[in-house]
Amino acid sequence: MKQKGFTLVELSIVLIIVSILISGGAALSLSQIEKYKYDTTLARLDIIENALTQFLSLNGRLPCPADNVIPSSNSLYGFEQITSSGAGPQSCSAANLLTKTSGTYEVAYGGAVPFKTLGLSNDFMLDGWNNKILYTTIRSLVNNQITNSSCVTANNAQNSDSSPFYICFRGKKSNIIYTFRYISTPSVVTIIDAAYTLVSAGANGFGAYSNSVSSSAIKNPNSASINEIENFDGNYGFVLSGYQKSASTYTLNQFDDIVRFKARNLLVYDCNKEYNLACTNTWGIDLR
């Protein structure tokens, strides 16, 4: 009795089915990997935010950013970069930082997360895609009454970027100007007094510094991706997107940055709540 074998047509059908199953499994695996990287990024941002709150409770100020470029073998890797400014308020080192001046004294600083200063492990300089997370703050908020002897509470006075009295965390009122634009409504500009921002460049990495051993070169945004450029140009403007990337629909120019920020007063509230009123009782920082 002869046994019937597969015809070429039947073999072709089987191979097509197998290839579909394999490609489907690969797509699912890719999606799971991307989900893991995204979840890892969110978890790290949560921990960094908690560490910033604790740092404020212990020091009455926020840390300066870390250098974006120096390698992990450098003794300063992961530490905040501060420049001595003599008798006036301290500044963050401008070396390899994104900076923008507003007024006489006020400066926005952007760089890597100072994970060592915050007491975190090396992983917390990076997002889930192994690119450096951008951390930004302003000169007022990296000063306290120790680093700036002119620091005063200045209860009802207006902020003045030309006066050192206001260049400290407790002297700064809750009207810090950062501009955030939601990508879903690009014509709407929202002003929020963010004490700091944290930005992951997402899966495409546009704008972020690489963690490559051989190179720390910035991954320049595509010239057509204005939202990517906005988040990494060193000024006070940021675009919020949520997470819009899909592993199956990803395109080169797709905007997928993940942005975190916290208002000055909310940060002080969390500091007092979590650390036994440290911000107000120890450092004289009020909700203002």
Pairing mode, strands 189-192 and 258-263: unpaired
Q: Residue 172: which pLDDT band, with cuts at 50, 70 and 90?
A: confident
Q: Residue 55: which pLDDT band, with cuts at 50, 70 and 90?
A: very high
Average pLDDT rounded to a whole number, residues 195-222: 76
Rounded Cα–Cα distance for residues 51 and 120 (Å):
8
- Quote the tokens at residue 36: 């893991």
Residue 78 has pLDDT above 60, yes or no: yes
Please answer whether residues 239 and 183 qualify as being in contact, where contact means their C-beta atoms are separated by less than 8 angstroms.
yes
Strands (E) located in the chain = 82-83, 91-92, 98-102, 106-112, 134-138, 178-182, 189-192, 194-200, 237-240, 258-263
Strands (E) located in 201-271 = 237-240, 258-263
How much is the pLDDT for 59? 97
How much is the pLDDT for 20? 62
How many domains does the structure of the chain reveal? 1
Would 184 be classed as within a structural domain? yes
Model's pTM, two decimal places? 0.81
Neighbours of 47 (CB within 10 A): 16
Tell which wins on pLDDT, 172 or 44. 44
Would 36 be classed as within a structural domain? yes
Would 2 be classed as within a structural domain? no
Measured between alpha carbons, how far is residue 127 from residues 102, 187, 211 in Å?
Answer: 29, 29, 10
Look up the domain containing 113 and give its range. 8-282
Residue 256 has pLDDT above 90, yes or no: no
How much is the pLDDT for 250? 40
Would 287 be classed as within a structural domain? no
Residue 242 has pLDDT above 50, yes or no: no
Rounded Cα–Cα distance for residues 222 and 229 (Å):
8
| Range scoring the smallest mean pLDDT among 68-72, 143-147, 197-201, 267-271 | 68-72
**Percentage of residues in the chain having pLDDT higher than 90:** 33
Average pLDDT rounded to a whole number, residues 172-178: 67
Q: Residue 186: which pLDDT band, with cuts at 50, 70 and 90?
A: very low
Q: Residue 124: which pLDDT band, with cuts at 50, 70 and 90?
A: very high
Residue 76 has pLDDT above 80, yes or no: yes
154 φψ region: left (φ > 0), alpha (ψ -120 to 50), beta (else): left
Average pLDDT rounded to a whole number, residues 144-168: 76
Would 3 be classed as within a structural domain? no
Residue 160 has pLDDT above 80, yes or no: no
Residue whose structure tokens are 């950013």? 65
How much is the pLDDT for 245? 41
In 3D, which of 57, 29, 194 has the Cα closest to residue 118? Answer: 57
Burial group, residue 165, by CB count within 10 angstroms (0-12, 13-18, 19+): middle
How much is the pLDDT for 247? 39
Would 251 be classed as within a structural domain? yes
Average pLDDT rounded to a whole number, residues 27-48: 85
Please answer whether residues 132 and 205 qualify as being in contact, where contact means their C-beta atoms are separated by less than 8 angstroms.
no
Measured between alpha carbons, how far is residue 281 from residues 147, 262, 273, 276, 288 in Å?
Answer: 18, 21, 12, 9, 15
Tell which wins on pLDDT, 58 or 208. 58
Residue 18 has pLDDT above 70, yes or no: no
Would 128 be classed as within a structural domain? yes
Residue 214 has pLDDT above 70, yes or no: no
Average pLDDT rounded to a whole number, residues 83-107: 78
| Range scoring the smallest mean pLDDT among 44-53, 92-101, 195-204 | 92-101
How much is the pLDDT for 143? 94
In 3D, which of 182, 196, 252, 242 has the Cα closest to residue 220? Answer: 252
Would 207 be classed as within a structural domain? yes
pLDDT digits (tens, 9 = 90+) for 225-241: 677 777 877 766 777 76
